[in-house]
């Protein structure tokens, strides 16, 4: 796990790279890689690659980056982990490759030489973002894993391209347009996160998940996909419970590959509990687990700690529970806001539990994020299908407008939820139904929040990039695909990255794994109504307790909204009268406040 950045002055008239600027961007990511630094630039000063290292695999200095091929043709900086690097190494050695390190980074160099980029990328199992420069072809390649677990951003001014693992760090480079991006602002209010490929700044874009970009003398070419989550859902299912057991065990085994101890976040849920049980099945030594407890939730149903401690005792882990109260949170808040790489209304729990793990001495921790998307754990798996049956106005002209006007007149008087008319108005399509479920604000509410010109520009950009290739999938598979390619990718994984990196902690996600998804995605239609989570809980040799599996799903909650409710730093929402009447929708108020905080 690391921070990577660099610059390629691809235009013949572009200025040479500045080592000072590239290293300044690199060192703005110090917490992403406190164990070492690296820098390389070409003799003609057209290319520079920089790296900050968090040493997890092959701790020897020979594995430092940037790393170079033996013939000095290829140069790479890499962030993440390739979990199947040992298997790929054997294949490459059979082809004659000679390795100088025990690192997964070197597999990328030899893999590129043996298979080419498009041939290598589908073989990589892991979380990765890397930049590889081919000195012979004068090409820079930027690539990102299928789920987008690891971030990679770039800024291209038509003369040179600069890239980095962090939006904030890249914003410190020279010549980057830091004007606010309309599509990002509109997207944030619609979905509570900034949608790819945009970032909060007009001049910075994201390499799309599961894609690579080629940069040559003509500049950055269009992003090319190398894998698709949608394809996995269409394969025929095989093996039932055995398929779940073997696929989960295989994924956890892969995610334990490290040259430092690997611990785990542990909550009261099936996802993290299953991972800990499988870790114990695979590992006889000490396992460290960490739980975050909020003082305000002590001795209530929202308290995660008692069940987490029972699971830790059952699987004999070295467990630590950290209790956080409002005073602790306020002391941490400035650092948290500084670490937030893009606006988000989430990520607070990830930031706090990462702090717990780091204080426990961990450099790597497993997280159960992604289990609800694959094992049908969200209420969206039933609600979206119900919304679709209620979606009428797409077939009845002007019905949606009439419903919204009626709701505006009488909704407050009868306590009508803000999204109620949206079901009939938008749910005639899957994307519309998903907007109703996950949307923060509805499209017709945005004129009250954003200037007209900005809103028009942002919506035009979003519509121009709208995903027209929505796959044709069974209902449950469609929900899984939507949750994975939107909420999981743009919010949960992104928040996990910045929140953990702020504490120099590598978080691994065994339930967000390309091989696991390939094996189990065909089973998603059978995972509804709790069947998926029950299959997960039964996967370990020593299954989770029945009482844990049968307890109602509560979701991980925090008292953050209450802590910030009367904080003047977060009261900018008060300038919007329609938000004053929403007693139970603090997230909408908080989004306005966070957007203002980030824009300062």
Q: Are 244 and 373 in the same domain?
A: yes
Instruction: Give the pLDDT confidence of 342-391 residue by residue, as tens digits.
Output: 999 988 889 999 999 999 999 999 999 999 999 999 999 999 998 888 77
Q: Are 348 and 494 in the same domain?
A: yes
Q: Are 170 and 317 in the same domain?
A: no
CA 253 to CA 265: how far, in whole Å? 17
Is residue 564 situated within a structural domain? no
Q: Are 131 and 7 in the same domain?
A: yes
Is residue 501 situated within a structural domain? yes
Q: Are 492 and 534 in the same domain?
A: yes
Of 64-73, 104-113, 129-138, 590-599, which range is least confident?
590-599
Q: Show the CA angle centred on residue 267, arms to residues 557 and 82, nearest 5°.
A: 110
Of 5-14, 121-130, 211-220, 589-598, which range is least confident?
589-598
Q: Are 213 and 95 in the same domain?
A: yes
- The CATH code of the domain that includes 298 is 3.40.50.620
Pick the closest to residue 507 from 343, 363, 371 (CA basis).
363
Query: Is the pLDDT at 408 greater than 70, yes or no?
Result: no
Is residue 409 situated within a structural domain? no
Of 6-20, 227-241, 506-520, 555-569, which range is least confident?
555-569
Cβ neighbours for 375, distance < 8 A, ≥ 6 positions apart: 271, 511, 527, 532, 533, 535, 536
Task: Please state at what angle helix 430-438 crosses helix 182-191, rounded to 10 degrees.
Answer: 80
Q: Are 342 and 252 in the same domain?
A: yes
Q: Are 243 and 177 in the same domain?
A: no
Q: Are 307 and 208 in the same domain?
A: no
Query: Is the pLDDT at 582 greater than 90, yes or no?
Result: no
pLDDT at residue 397 in the model: 55
Q: How many domains does the chain have?
A: 2
pLDDT at residue 570 in the model: 83
Is residue 58 situated within a structural domain? yes
| Residue 161, phi then psi, degrees to nearest 5 | -120, 130
Task: Please state at what angle helix 182-191 crosses helix 586-599, rounded to 10 degrees.
Answer: 160
Q: Which of 504, 523, 546 is the last residue of a domain?
A: 546
Query: Is the pLDDT at 395 greater than 70, yes or no?
Result: no
pLDDT at residue 569 in the model: 79
Query: Strand (E) positions, 469-553?
Result: 506-508
Q: Are 59 and 120 in the same domain?
A: yes
For residue 81, give the 3-state DSSP assignment. Answer: strand
Instruction: Give the pLDDT confidence of 296-329 residue by residue, as tens digits.
Output: 988 888 888 999 999 999 999 999 998 999 999 8
Indicate the average pLDDT of the chain: 91
Mean pLDDT calculated for residue range 47-61? 94
- Give me the residues paired with residue 2 across strands: 53
Q: Which long-range contacts (CB under 8 A, 24 or more apart) does 301-304 make?
A: 301/554, 302/554, 302/557, 304/267, 304/268, 304/556
Q: Which is higher by pLDDT, 420 or 97?
A: 97
Is residue 135 situated within a structural domain? yes
286 lies in which domain range? Answer: 235-377+476-546
284 band by pLDDT with thresholds 50, 70 and 90: confident
Is residue 391 situated within a structural domain? no
Q: Are 169 and 303 in the same domain?
A: no
Cβ neighbours for 229, distance < 8 A, ≥ 6 positions apart: 146, 147, 210, 481, 484, 485, 517, 521
Is residue 36 situated within a structural domain? yes
Q: Which of 546, 566, 592 is the last residue of a domain?
A: 546
301 and 554 Cβ atoms separated by less than 8 Å: yes
| Residue 580, phi then psi, degrees to nearest 5 | -65, -25
- The CATH code of the domain that includes 214 is 3.60.20.10
Q: Are 242 and 219 in the same domain?
A: no
Is residue 332 situated within a structural domain? yes
């Amino acid at each position: 796990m690391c921070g990577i950045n660099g610059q390629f002055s691809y235009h013949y008239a572009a200025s040479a790279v500045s080592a000072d600027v590239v290293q300044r961007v690199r060192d703005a990511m110090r917490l992403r890689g406190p164990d070492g630094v690296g820098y390389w630039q070409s003799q003609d000063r057209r290319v520079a690659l920089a790296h900050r290292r968090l040493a997890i695999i092959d701790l020897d200095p020979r594995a430092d980056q940037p790393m170079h091929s033996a013939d000095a043709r290829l140069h790479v900086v890499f962030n993440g982990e390739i979990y199947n690097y040992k298997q790929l190494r054997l294949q490459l050695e059979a082809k004659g490759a000679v390795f100088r390190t025990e690192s997964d980074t070197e597999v990328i160099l030899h893999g590129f030489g043996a298979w080419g980029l498009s041939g290598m990328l589908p073989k990589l199992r892991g979380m990765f973002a890397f930049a590889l420069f081919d000195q012979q072809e004068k090409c820079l390649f930027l690539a990102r894993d299928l789920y987008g677990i690891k971030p990679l951003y770039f800024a291209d001014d038509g003369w040179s391209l600069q890239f980095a693992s962090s939006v904030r760090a890249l914003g410190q480079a020279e010549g980057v347009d830091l004007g606010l991006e309309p599509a990002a602002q509109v997207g944030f209010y619609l979905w509570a996160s900034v949608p790819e490929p945009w970032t909060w700044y007009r001049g910075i874009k994201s390499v799309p998940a599961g894609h690579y970009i080629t940069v040559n003398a003509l500049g950055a070419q269009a992003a090319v996909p190398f894998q698709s989550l949608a394809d996995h859902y269409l394969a025929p299912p095989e093996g039932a419970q055995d398929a779940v057991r073997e696929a989960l065990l295989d994924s956890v085994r892969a995610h334990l590959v490290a040259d430092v101890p690997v611990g785990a976040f542990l909550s009261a849920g099936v996802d993290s509990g299953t991972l800990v049980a499988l870790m114990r099945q695979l590992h006889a030594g000490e396992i460290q687990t960490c739980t975050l407890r909020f003082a305000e939730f002590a001795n209530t149903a929202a308290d995660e700690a008692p069940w987490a401690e029972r699971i830790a005792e059952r699987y004999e882990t070295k467990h630590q529970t950290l209790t956080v109260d409002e005073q602790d949170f306020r002391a941490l808040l400035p650092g948290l806001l500084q670490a937030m790489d893009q606006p988000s209304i989430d990520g607070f729990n990830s930031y706090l539990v990462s702090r717990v793990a780091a204080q426990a001495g961990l450099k790597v921790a497993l997280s159960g994020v992604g289990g609800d998307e694959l094992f049908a754990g969200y209420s969206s798996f039933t609600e979206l299908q119900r919304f679709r049956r209620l979606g009428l106005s797409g077939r009845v002209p002007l019905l949606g407008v009439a419903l919204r006007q009626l709701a505006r007149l009488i909704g407050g008087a009868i306590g009508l939820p803000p999204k109620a008319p949206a079901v009939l108005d938008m749910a005639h399509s899957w994307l519309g139904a998903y907007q109703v479920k996950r949307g923060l604000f509805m499209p017709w509410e945005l004129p009250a929040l954003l200037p007209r010109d900005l809103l028009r520009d942002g919506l035009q950009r979003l519509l121009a990039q709208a995903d027209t290739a929505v796959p044709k999938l069974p209902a449950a598979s469609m929900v899984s695909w939507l949750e994975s390619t939107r909420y999981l990718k743009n919010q949960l994984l992104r928040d996990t990255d910045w929140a953990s990196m702020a504490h120099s902690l590598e978080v691994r996600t065994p339930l967000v794994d390309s091989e696991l998804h390939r094996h189990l995605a065909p089973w998603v239609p059978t995972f509804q109504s709790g069947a998926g989570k029950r299959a997960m809980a039964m996967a370990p040799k020593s299954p989770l307790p029945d009482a844990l599996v049968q307890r109602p799903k509560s979701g991980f909650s925090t008292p953050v909204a209450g802590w910030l409710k009367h904080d003047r730093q977060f009261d900018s929402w008060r300038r919007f009268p329609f938000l004053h009447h929403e007693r139970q929708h603090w997230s909408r108020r908080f989004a306005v406040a966070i957007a203002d905080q980030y824009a300062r």
